[in-house]
Amino acid sequence: MINETLQKLLIVDESENNRIAIKNILQDEYEFVEAASIEEAINTIERCTIDVVLADLKFISQLKDNDKILQIPLIAMVDSSDVDAGAIAIESGAFEVIAKPLNQTLVSYRIHNVIKHFKDAESVQILKDKQIIEMHKYVEMDALTGLINRETFYKRAAALMQVNIETKYYIIYFDISCFKAINDLFHIETGNLILRTAANYFRTVIDPKVGLCSRIEADHFIICVPQDKIDIEKLIIGLDVTVQALGIGHNILFYAGIYPVNNPSLPVDQMCDRANMALRKIKGNYMNRYAYYDAGMRELMLQDQMIVRDMETALQENQFSIFLQPIYDIKRNTINSAEALVRWFHPINGMISPGKFIPVFERNGFIVKTDRFVWEEVCKFIQRQREETGEVTPVSVNVSRLNFYNLDLLEFLLGLLERYELESWMLKLEITESAYMDNSHQLMSIIKVFREEGFPVLMDDFGSGYSSLNMLKNLPVDVLKVDMAFVRELEESERAYMILKFIMNLAKDLGMDVIVEGVETKKQLDYLVHLGADKIQGYYFSKPLPVPEFKKLLKENKICK
Ligand code: C2E
Ligand code: CA
Ligand code: CA
């Protein structure tokens, strides 16, 4: 009976005696199969699994032509009297050579070694294949969450939409609010846990047969799903609940920007950009957790691109200039001061409003250069005005929060005063309320230094953000500029009136001045007078004016209303 575990050795030799001799030498180490011709040998190789072939030299090259032999170790038997035979055998493709007459021990060892070597090589190949598969996975996957990565998403989403050309898809871009803060406040593992939990959630709600989900970077996820297979409201609530269930105790909110795909041939990265554009519109807004892309957003994006492209040239070519809006002291009936507001006169697009370019500059950091330009223009104006009239009207300038990251901020301001021979009370610094929230400790100490140097500090847009009234007590500011929204609501809302009244009283108790901005009508002004407001800025009195016009107004120095 043949032992099942024995390896099969094929002996290819015309001489039966030779074949018998081999069988005698190896005896029961192998299961033997014999062939007396090349045809017989090939036939056998193709029919059954052979572990090793021992063939007379004359068959080697023919055997080597057969594809199957590539995976089987081939040993040539050569005549020991022929000195070249060994080399010829190896050249012809034999893996090993044994000499006739056969030496029992040597033959046995050689065959063993050859088989072992082949097995090892085979396992190395299997390992390599496995590694290649793993590598492919690695290249396609995000290691943290196991979701597919950005490139894979782009490829697969394009393929998915191409195959299901009739299906209407959404590309949805997700982002977590304050994720950076979570990473800072807690351990990085907490952040990772949130990301993995979100990934698992996506995996369970998006049927992989119809949709895709991916983590494309940091805390940004993207999904591609048929529109009729998803309820966005439910999806976001489910996501919030799942992540909140981790009990991290921080308000972790997901926001989503949605691009309904109406042109499946658009590159997927551009679809994602559009979804991201929609997302940017609502990020940080507690009420709106998702938004849809519309064509207007694309216009905005193109406009932003134009702004970024042209900003440096604009500064070099003097396309920026300052306008001054008077701030009136209605009790004294004079112009108390002015606010400098930047204007951009673009050679092709005409005047661009700061509402359009300031947010872009704040995102890309160019605001620091712009602000410094404005401050210098203001200093030039004050200096010239003093030379011409002998009088000084203080001007307040906007100091965007990004300036506070520059260590030479104070030095720069003091340098300006020196260059234009001004004093610090002439240049007032407006810092928007939200900046106090961002970076309160550091900011407070910088503001303290400004005030010690004699710069009046104004808190701009007060009441527009989240600052509590209690916080006011600790704020080292000289003036509150009440946000326009209050004035707008004054006529309709009793509440706005009450809050404003409270603010005015509180400011008075704390020894702060109040400027009310955005006053457009006589009625609003009357309310404000009733509340005791005395410093007013708004269209009712004057819009921001080009410097020559402002000078003219100063000369007349009267309230025309
Ligand atoms: P802001 O600092 O709150 O400036 C007041 C804005 O309100 C100005 O808009 C001004 O023209 C406008 N305004 C004044 N009175 C009225 C009114 O009665 N009704 C209405 N509806 N609006 C009024 P502007 O010049 O378009 O500037 C918008 C914002 O852009 C500014 O708000 C400020 O945040 C920013 N900005 C403008 N110039 C600069 C600058 O040089 N540097 C920085 N960092 N920001 C600037
Ligand atoms: Ca301002
Ligand atoms: Ca303001």
- At 252-310, the pLDDT tens digits run 889 999 999 998 889 999 999 999 999 988 876 667 899 999 988 888 888 999 999 99
Rounded to a whole number, what is the largest CA-CA distance in the chain?
A: 130
Separation in Å, CA 397 to CA 56, 93, 371, 379: 98, 86, 8, 10
CB-based contacts of 343, cutoff 8 Å, min separation 6:
320, 321, 322, 323, 351, 354, 544
pLDDT computed for residue 445 by the predictor:
87
For residue 220, give the 3-state DSSP assignment: strand
pLDDT at 223 over 60: yes
Distance CA 560, CA 244 (A): 59
What is the C-alpha separation between 354 and 200, in angstroms, rounded?
43
Q: What is the pLDDT of residue 142?
A: 87
Alpha helices in 289-337 (DSSP H): 295-316
483 lines ligand 1 (CB under 6 A): no
- Number of neighbours of residue 274 by Cβ within 10 angstroms: 25
Q: Is the dihedral of CA 507, 474, 325, 422 positive or negative?
A: positive
455 burial level (CB within 10 Å; 0-12, 13-18, 19+): buried
Between 473 and 311, the higher pLDDT residue: 311
pLDDT at 135: 66
Interval between CA 411 and ligand 3 midpoint (Å): 26
What whole-number distance in Å separates Cα of residue 5 and Cα of residue 2? Answer: 9
Strands 290-292 and 7-12, by their bridges, are: unpaired
Task: Kindly give the distance from the C-alpha atom of residue 320 to the centroid of ligand 1, in angstroms, as a whole number.
Answer: 15
pLDDT at 517 over 60: yes
Least confident of 117-126, 132-141, 234-243, 248-257: 132-141
Q: Is 172 exposed, middle or buried (0-12, 13-18, 19+ CB in 10 A)?
A: buried
Contact 225, 211 (CB under 8 A): yes
Distance CA(290)–CA(417), nearest Å, equals 48
pLDDT band, very low/low/confident/very high, at 453 (cuts 50, 70, 90): very high
Which of 341, 433, 537, 547 is the best mutation target for the ligand 1 pocket, counting ligand atoms within 8 Å of the beta carbon and taking the most? 341
Q: Where residue 205 falls among pLDDT bands split at 50, 70, 90?
A: very high
Q: Whose CA is nearest to atom 44 of ligand 1?
A: 400
Percentage of residues in the chain with pLDDT exceeding 90? 58
d(CA 71, CA 20): 26
Ligand 1 closest atom vs CA 544: 11
Q: Name the 3-class secondary structure at 256.
A: strand
Residue 267's CB: how many other CB atoms inside 10 A?
10
| Average pLDDT over the chain, rounded to an integer | 89
The pLDDT of residue 467 = 58
Mean pLDDT along residues 527-555: 95
Most confidently modeled of 15-19, 112-116, 236-240, 411-415? 411-415
Nearest ligand, measured from the Cα of 433: 3
Instruction: Select the more confidently predicted residue: 441 or 6.
Output: 6
Q: How many helices (H) and strands (E) does the chain have?
A: 20, 20
Task: Work out the burial of residue 135: count CB atoms within 10 Å of its CB; fewer than 13 is exposed, 13-18 middle, 19 or more buried.
Answer: exposed
Ligand nearest to the CA of 358: 1
User: Are residues 171 and 261 in contact, defined by beta-carbon separation less than 8 angstroms?
Assistant: yes
Predicted local distance difference test score (pLDDT) of residue 16: 92
Ligand 1 centre and the CA of 361: distance in Å?
15
Distance of CA 254 to the CA centre of its chain: 15
pLDDT for residue 390 is more than 90: yes
* Contacts with 193 (C-beta within 8 Å, 6 or more apart), sequence order: 246, 248
CA distance 28 to 447: 95
Looking at residue 92, what is its pLDDT? 81
Question: Which atom of ligand 1 lies nearest, measured to the CA of 540?
Answer: 18
Residue 306: how many CB atoms within 10 A of its CB? 17
Contacts of 291 (CB under 8 A, 6+ apart): 256, 257, 258, 278, 279, 281, 282
- Phi then psi for residue 117, to 5 deg, are -60, -45
The vertex-278 CA angle with 276 and 283, nearest 5°, equals 85
Under the banding of pLDDT at 50, 70 and 90, the label for residue 66 is: confident
Ligand nearest to the CA of 435: 1
Query: How far from the centroid of its chain's Cα atoms is residue 9's Cα?
Result: 62
pLDDT of residue 375: 98
Query: Cα(462) to centroid of ligand 1, in Å?
Result: 14
Residue of the CA atom closest to atom 12 of ligand 1: 518
Position 222 scores a pLDDT of 97
- Pick from 289, 307, 296: which is nearest to 252 by CA? 289
Average pLDDT over residues 102-116: 84
Atom of ligand 1 nearest to the CA of 520: 18
In contact, 359 and 415? CB cutoff 8 Å: no
| DSSP assigned state of 48 | S
Ligand 1 atom 13: residue of nearest CA: 518
More confident residue, 443 or 465: 443
pLDDT at 132 (0 to 100): 66
The rounded Å distance from CA 418 to ligand 3 centre is 28
Q: How far is the centre of ligand 2, averaged over its atoms, from the C-alpha of 431 (Å)?
A: 7
Q: Looking at the predicted structure, is the pLDDT value of residue 476 above 90?
A: no
Ligand nearest to the CA of 343: 1
Q: How far apart are CA 234 and CA 560, in angstroms?
A: 58
Q: What is the mean pLDDT of residues 330-352?
A: 95
Strand partners, 429: 397, 457
pLDDT of residue 1: 46
Please choose, from the candidates 246, 154, 139, the residue with its C-alpha nearest in 3D space to the C-alpha of residue 191: 246
DSSP 8-state secondary structure symbol assigned to residue 465: S
Q: Which segment of 115-124, 333-342, 478-487 scores lowest on mean pLDDT?
A: 115-124
Ligand 1 atom at minimum distance from 519 CA: 18
Burial of 551 (0-12, 13-18, 19+ CB in 10 A): middle
CB neighbours of residue 195 within 10 Å: 22
Report residue 400's pLDDT band, with 50, 70 and 90 as the boundaries: very high
Distance 515 CA to ligand 1 centre (A): 14
Cα torsion 70, 75, 77, 83: sign: positive
Cβ atoms of 258 and 292 closer than 8 Å: yes
pLDDT of 4 = 59
How much distance in Å is there from the Cα of 510 to the middle of ligand 3?
21
Give the pTM.
0.64
Q: What is the Cα–Cα distance from 166 to 176, expressed in whole angstroms?
A: 32
Q: Does residue 546 have a cis peptide bond before it, meaning omega lies within 30 degrees of 0?
A: no
Q: Mean pLDDT throughout 76-81?
A: 87
- Segment 502-520 shows an average pLDDT of 92
Residue 483 CA, closest ligand 1 atom number: 3
Q: Does 60 sit in the ligand 1 pocket, CB within 6 Å?
A: no
Alpha carbon nearest to ligand 1 atom 41, residue: 342
pLDDT at 560 over 50: no
